[in-house]
Amino acid sequence: MSGSVEKAALELRTGGMAIVADEHGATLVLGALFATGRVIEFVAREAHGPVCLALPAGAGGGRVEPISAAGTLPELDQRAGAVRSVAEALAAGRRLDSPRLLRDEAVAGDAAVSVARLDASLKLATLAGLFGAALLCPIRSESGASAGPTALASFGRRHDLPSVTSTDVLAYGPHRVDPRSQRPRPRAVTRATTYARRLVGAAAPAQAA
């Protein structure tokens, strides 16, 4: 299954998203360096779960911090900027000693990610060369229950996302998928916004009708 892990890590590395699944459910994963307001909005709307910032334990501060997906787009952009600042600090090798990484107004609810999927998501972000900082969102049905296998498969196809199990990620040997690769360029952030554009494109024919 190493090919699946590598595909998912490379997707994250270029600003995309991936699904990390186990027997209890699945989590949508995105590199924190690529957070934008529209991406936070999209992830919360499509995955129906709480969005959170996850960091490796050695980074200091909390490992998981929930992020509010409510508010206007400028407010979401502000929160996304704070998320990127945390990820950039981690990428620069700075320890995050603050007990709270995000401002109070950016935080809402409790994180709801299983330990196995949390560890696998952080490792996937590390394999991608993103220093372990990730945005996570459990994938749920509209009722709030964990999405089942059929719904997860449909979700992955609809958004063209690679999927990998937490077991495969945690068992993957190398520390990086491609240690010779350069650090992702800032312009890769624009790729993540294509997920939000798909929503607009899908809605356009219905509106026209």
Give tens-digit pLDDT for 145-204. Answer: 888 888 888 898 989 899 999 999 999 876 665 544 444 443 334 444 454 454 444 444
Where along the chain do its domains lie?
2-208
* Residue 58: pLDDT over 60: yes
Q: What is the per-residue pLDDT for 2?
A: 53
> What does the block give as tokens for 11?
């997707």
CA 43 to chain centre: 8
User: Who wins on pLDDT, 70 or 100?
Assistant: 70
Closest by Cα among 161, 169, 153, 146 to 198: 161
Give tens-digit pLDDT for 102-161. Answer: 443 333 344 456 788 888 999 999 899 888 889 999 998 888 788 888 888 889 898 989
The answer to whether 131 and 87 are in contact (CB under 8 A) is yes
Domain 2-208 CATH assignment equals 1.10.150.120 = no
Closest by Cα among 146, 116, 122 to 47: 146
Rounded to a whole number, what is the largest CA-CA distance in the chain? 54
CA-to-CA dists, residue 191 to 59, 94, 157, angstroms: 27, 27, 18
* Residue 33: pLDDT over 80: yes
Give tens-digit pLDDT for 71-103. Answer: 999 999 999 998 998 888 888 877 766 544 444
Q: What is the per-residue pLDDT for 77?
A: 93
This prediction has a pTM of 0.77
CA-to-CA dists, residue 20 to 30, 47, 170, angstroms: 11, 13, 11
